Structure 1
C-alpha cells in the first residue's frame, strides 16, 4: 500500500474511502511540483491511519 501511496497518491485515498481527499490530491498531483507533496501527504496519512488502528486495538484490549 505504501508503494501505491508513493506512485499514485490519489488512488491510495480512494482505496481507503476518502473520495474528497483523493480529488484534492489528484489536482495537486497533476502538476509536477505538486506530485512530491501529494506522495508525502498520502504516505503520512496512511501511517497515521495505521497508528490509529493500533491505538484503538490497544484501548479495546485494555478495557477487557
Structure 2
C-alpha cells in the first residue's frame, strides 16, 4: 500500500468512509468513478499482467 502513496490507516479510513470500495484482495476503486470496464478483467490484469485471458476477454 505504501507503493501507492497511502498508509494502511489512510486506505482503511477511505474504505470505512465510503470513498473507496474493495473489488478484490488488495484492489480498490473509487466509489464515485464511472465504471466502464469489467471488474473481474481489471482484477485479473492487475494480478497477472502477462497472462492471457480467453473467451471472456474476447467477448469484452
How high is the TM-score relative to the length of structure 2?
Answer: 0.29
Relative to its length, the structure with more helix (as a share) is 1
Per chain length, whose mean CA-contact separation is higher, i.e. which structure has more relative contact order (CA < 8 Å, sep 6+)?
1
Relative to its length, the structure with more strand (as a share) is 2
